[in-house]
Structure formats: C-alpha cells, structure tokens
Amino acid sequence: MMQVEDDTRKKNPNPAFSGVLIRCKNKVLLCKRREDIPNTALPEYWSVPAGYVEDDEDIKTAAIRETYEETQIQLDEKNVKFLSAFPAHGSNGIFYDYVCEVEDEIEPIIDEEHSDWGYFSVDEIPTPITDELKRDIIFALNQ
C-alpha cells in the first residue's frame, strides 16, 4: 500500500499561504501591495490580507493572524469560512482563501507591506489582481 502524506509543510518551508476576504454587503476589502519592499510577492497587486502559514500553525488561524497583522482588523474565528484553495502565484505553494462577512465596513490600519486599501464591488475590482483572487471575489459576492 502506498503511503500518502497530506501535510508536506515539513519538506517545504513555505508551501502554504492563507488570507481572508472580508466581505461587507456587496463589497470586499482589498489591500495594494507595495512595490518597494525587497522580495515581496506580487508588488503593486491588489490582494486580501494574507501571508505564510507557520509550520506549527493551523491554516485558518494563520489567515486570521495575517489579517490582523496587516490591517489591525480582529476577526471572530467562527465567522471565518473556507472559500477556496489554489496554487500560489509564482511559487510552489498553495493559497488558502477564506471569507468573513462583516456588517459595516471596517477601516483597516494597513501595515508597511501595503500602500493603499479599499472596499470594492464586482464592477470595481481593481487591477492588477490575480485571476484566482478575482474569481474568488466574484464567487463570494454572488453568494
């Protein structure tokens, strides 16, 4: 019988990334990644608050932690739901996307990794943005 390993994080130091798409009515919060930070992934792209999953960390917990670190927005774990997973852009890892509905637009306090932010409807999705994230936004807003 072939043995299959479902968690390969020990073999690959950065295989998992996660983030939370914060949805408020018909809009989602996106942050624009700065272009002047060395070794940053997707400079000047719009994205959800996101980052690396630590070796000993649950993927959903990492998404909530990264959201707080990058926006100072504290999310309740019970309101954060899995949305999708897809190959991380430009790497050999997987990106895990979650969604969390909030009643009112919460103004983020963005960290040094970002230069701008906004709440956007389907018709207002900014560019550049990855096709995978754009697809998730459309799916989340049409639910």
Amino acid identity, position 98: Y
Q: What pLDDT score does 10 carry?
A: 54
CA max distance for the chain: 53
Q: What pLDDT score does 55 carry?
A: 83
Would you state the structure tokens that stand for residue 28, as one six-digit string? 């989602």
Q: How many residues does the chain have?
A: 143
- Which phi and psi angles does 116 have, rounded to 5°? -160, 170
pLDDT tens digit at each of 143 positions of the chain = 444 444 444 555 557 899 999 999 999 999 999 988 777 778 899 999 999 899 889 999 999 999 999 999 999 999 999 999 998 877 678 999 999 999 999 999 999 999 999 999 999 999 999 999 999 999 999 98
> Which of 24, 16, 142, 30 is CA-nearest to residue 85?
16
Query: pTM for the whole thing?
Result: 0.87
